Amino acid sequence: MNSTEDAGQSQVEGRPLLSPEAISQRLEALAAQIAERHPGGPPSFVGIHTRGVTVARRVRSLLAERGIDVPMGTIDISFYRDDLDHRSSNPVVQASEIPFEVDGAEVIIFDDVLYTGRTIRAAIEGLMSYGRPAKVELAVLIDRGNRELPIQPDYVGERVEAARRDTVRVRFAEHDGEDSIDLITSP
């Protein structure tokens, strides 16, 4: 489990990992890493619904403050997941919007928390349904380890040690009324 979208985690108290100020610093670090690696202008951004979109928008805004304009899209991975048969509820589907040509483009996919790698695999599959990008990179606010697939981020805001059954809960003001990241330890 990764974020507040996971059932039953919205009212559970956790150990604070990042304060609002620390979250802002990590987003600044992501923007700096991307700008440094792409001095001619970063690739297009694609945020994974829901909180990956927020991370992408915030990093895009920070780059805009530096005079760097970045095309951005959003992707919903609901129908690309490999666990649809195992979920107890139907997915909440949101619109994907890719307002740029994917064929031949360099793209950075954004998510809030990288855990098993399955969400990213689904996002890559979804992106490929729009065309064949020249290169795909990954930016995450939190890398919590415990991968099940060989997927690693190119840009990381913070690495966190979390046990497999623990949850990293990300809250953003845009969705939850506050910015915070907590570690909820499994009983």
pLDDT for the residue numbered 10? 46
What residues does 46 pair with on adjacent strands?
Answer: 73, 109
The whole-model pTM stands at 0.89
Under a CB-based contact definition with an 8 Å cutoff, are residues 164 and 146 in contact? yes
**Dist. CA 20–CA 57, nearest whole Å:** 16
**Dist. CA 87–CA 73, nearest whole Å:** 27
pLDDT for the residue numbered 24? 98
pLDDT for the residue numbered 95? 84
Q: Which of 109, 25, 99 is nearest to 62 (CA)?
A: 25
pLDDT for the residue numbered 79? 80
User: CB neighbours (10 Å) of residue 161?
Assistant: 9
pLDDT for the residue numbered 176? 96
Complete domains list, the chain, with CATH:
20-184 (3.40.50.2020)
Mean pLDDT by 10 residues, the chain (187 residues): 45 86 98 96 95 98 97 92 56 83 97 97 96 98 96 98 96 97 92
